[in-house]
Structure 1
Amino acid sequence: MSTRVQGWRKLAGASWGAPRDPQFTGDIDIDAAELLAYADRVRMETGAHVTVTHLVGRAVAHALGRVPAMNVRLARGREHPRESIDVFFIVSTAGGSELTGIKVTAADQKSVVEIADQLEADVQAVTDGTDADFGRAKKLLTLLPPRVLKAALGISAWLTSDLNLDLPALGMRRQAFGGAMITSVGMWGIAHAYSPLAHYYRVPVLVLVGAVSQQPVAVAGKVLVRPVLPITATFDHRYVDGFQAASFAHAVEEYLAHPASFEPRTERRVPDQRSVVEDAAAAQAEGASKTTATGQAARSTTMGA
């Protein structure tokens, strides 16, 4: 059920229009030792291509669950709770020359392995040209001149977010960018950057994942060299105040510090190498035993004759 916008959110909405000036930013550094170890273990056990970006996306979904006041849709002076916690991942295709995006619905209810699997499958569909929605959107992007395209993007946001309509025939899906967005520059070796919010995103936060690097960190009174993951965020002040942003950041840190505590137990999809070797040795021993037994039986038959 929607409620009328009140207090600071009403004031912020009256003070600013679409995101051109209501943006504010923040950053955190994560000790990534446990995070990287967990990602390695999950990849080894499941075969899923789980990356740091996938884990940060899962952490963002966790944080939106912890701060439900951020997981809202603002339209016509009212705030509407979103139906689910959805996270939009900006991904590169065509060898990095093009950008597209995949929305993971109910990301808080999916494991990081399920998120990685969905992104891999959806990116492949985009690459193969079998994603019909992407095809329609790309055709529109190609045909429209810049001035018309700007108006079309605004109209699309108004229809799919403000009016909450789902228009797949036009390549316009309801709340296309979900409740938060994730992108990464870590793959290019960039540690620290900020990404702007476009007026048609209609999301409270865009999170950017930097490159992990070895940094001196104070641990229990000692300076140790540890892998550090920098994360930055751009917030829309019409959705988020300072207290909510800080609560969101703490929840992201909470998940990334101990991801295994928030993930279901992974089911092994890749056979353990030690088990494979042991099984092969057992099979070889069994074969040798059968060969020996057959030879002994043949000798007994010969002697009896």
Structure 2
Amino acid sequence: MIQEFKFPDIGEGIHEGKLLKWHMEVGDTIQAGDTIAEVETDKVNAELPSPYSGKVIALLAEEGGIIYVGQVLIKVDTGEVGKSQDQTVEPVAEENAGVVGALEASSEVIPASAEGRKQEAAIPPKRKVLATPVARKMAYDLGVDLRNVTGTGPGGRVMKADIAAAAEKTTAGDSEASKPEQKHETKLEAASKDRNQIERVPLSMIRKTIAKKMVQSKHTAPHATAMDEVDVTELVKFRETAKGHFDEDIHLTFMPFIMKAIVLALKKNPKINSSLDDETEEILLKKYYHLGIAVDTEEGLTVPVVRNVDQKSIVRLAKELNDLGQRARNRKLTIDELKESTFSITNYGAVGSIFGVPVINYPEVAIMGIGKISKKPVVIEDELVIRHMLPLSMSFDHRVVDGGDAGRFMNDVKKYLSDPYRLLLL
């Protein structure tokens, strides 16, 4: 019996991915739970386990290509008899077989989406167009009728390359028929030369997610930003002394201290540790403290979450930060490690920047930006002294947080960071 394994819906709004690597070839014999492929999504890299045992008879996607939820990836001859292909076969998934957990295969047919933004004539039953929303939009923008395009993708799906080829063919035909004026041809030639000097870099899956999240945040939450500096001279001294008491494998940065200070301040200012339910028009005050820590990776910004920060020591936070940071850069985080944060921190001081205006990690209501610690002349009791100063910038959702709320929260953070002994004793 031939079974088809489709790219499953692994949740968290993931609709597509990039096939990084096949772990088998046509003709191989596999067991249920064996990894068949590695897929890059906009959140994590996931290993897909096979729900079937049998012989691989077809691989229906190419390495490096984009695959979509519901798309058939592989066909397996299970050797079973006496069952029709329409009957439901209970997939067997090995527990924790993949990065994102056990995945279920679906035998349901995914219907084609609507044809775009304009109403088109009914499509004859024998000519059903299969295309992604991105391809449909491209066809609409270029004026290409999808019904006249032969798809080269899986199952006859119309791909962007098919649409581009159809558009080029149409343009060439129109040019020959209309014989455009020389002036118009000159403009086209000039535009073509310009295009030859442009390098096109496809957006990675994670870059697409960052773009969507940033637009959602800026369009939904009215941003306001408060900025200040805190004297961390005593904290700098304390950290230098403390580093000598730990093993070399513990990389003690300032971030664990900043996280502790922020959580203490969040407890005194609960509105900052919340989100807004637009439907019920309620502010959801969170009684737990999960901090998202922005990590700069080659693929783009990733925000792993450190859970229950209020219950962890400085040393444990340092270890978790190091582990999460390394796995974020290697795309080894799980989906659970990227969600449910209640407040986020972005450290642009790590790349030498002083101040910035961070974008809220929606649906949170605030984010703290940390700048580079530097020595500066400061007036204390009418005397000019050199102190270590840490720049802070906090963006907040003005629907929930007012300037006074932000100011009080920032003052509490400053109070704890300026006195490390108070910070560690509370």
Q: Please list the CA deviations of residues 118-166 of structure 1 after superposition, one character each: whole Å capped at 9, or x if unmatched.
A: 1112223334554332xxxxxxxxxxxxxxxxxxxxxxxxxxxxxxxxx
Is the CA contact 1:19–1:236 (under 8 Å) kept in the aligned structure 2?
A: no
Distance 1:264 1:89, change over 3 A: same
Q: Equivalents in 1 of 2:228, 2:377: separation in Å? A: 15
**Partner residue in 2 for 1:195:** 358
Structure 1 gap ranges (5+): 1-16, 134-167, 266-305
Larger radius of gyration: 2
Which residue type is aligned with residue 36 of structure 1?
A: V
The percentage of counterpart residues that share the same residue type is 25
In the alignment, which residue of structure 2 is the partner of 1:31? Answer: 231
Aligned partner of 1:72: which letter?
S
How many Å separate the matches in 1 of 2:343 and 2:414? 16
Contact 2:303 2:338 in 1 (8 A): no
- The CA RMSD measured in Å over matched residues stands at 2.4
Select the residue among 307, 311, 316 that pairs with 1:109. 311
1:93 to 281, 297, 314: 297
The change in CA–CA distance for 1:19 and 1:224 in structure 2 (over 3 A counts) is same
CA distance in 1, matches of 2:257, 2:306: 13
TM-aligned CA distance change 1:59 to 1:186, over 3 Å: same
1:238-261 CA-to-partner distances (Å, cap 9, x unmatched) read 221122111101110111011222
Residue 259 (structure 2) aligns with: 57
Q: Is the 8 A contact 2:251 2:318 kept in 1?
A: yes
1:81 aligns to 2:296 (yes or no) = no
Q: Is 2:283–2:400's contact at 8 Å kept on the other side of the alignment?
A: no
Aligned residues of 1:89 and 1:183 also touching (Cα < 8 A): yes
| Displacement of 1:264 | 5.3
1:111, 1:264 within 8 Å by CA — same for their partners in 2? no
- List aligned pairs for 1:189-268, cutoff 5 A: 189-197=352-360, 201-263=362-424
Any conservation in 2 of the 1:61–1:86 contact (CA below 8 Å)? no
- Structure-1 separation of matches of 2:403 and 2:260: 22
2:304/2:338 contact within 8 Å kept: no
Structure with more helix by fraction = 1
1:43 alignment partner AA:
K
Q: Quick one: structure 1 residues 235 and 132, their matched pair in 2 at CA, closer, same or farther if it must change by over 3 Å?
A: closer
Q: How far, CA to CA, are the matches of 2:262 and 2:386 in structure 1?
A: 27
Matches within 5 A, 1:29-178: 29-47=229-247, 48-75=250-277, 76=279, 77-94=281-298, 98-133=300-335, 173=339, 175=340, 178=341
Partner residue of 1:280? none
How has the CA–CA distance of structure 1 residues 100 and 172 changed in structure 2, closer, same or farther, with 3 Å as cutoff?
A: closer
Higher mean displacement: 232-241 or 18-27: 18-27
TM-score, normalised by the number of residues in structure 1? 0.61
Higher RCO, Cα 8 Å, sep 6+: 1
Using the TM superposition, give the Cα deviation of residue 64 of structure 1 relative to its aligned residue in structure 2, in angstroms: 0.5
How many residue pairs match? The answer is 206
Distance between the aligned counterparts of 2:331 and 2:345, measured in 1?
A: 23
Contact persistence 1:60–1:180 (CA under 8 A): no
Separation of aligned partners in 2, 1:241 and 1:65? 17
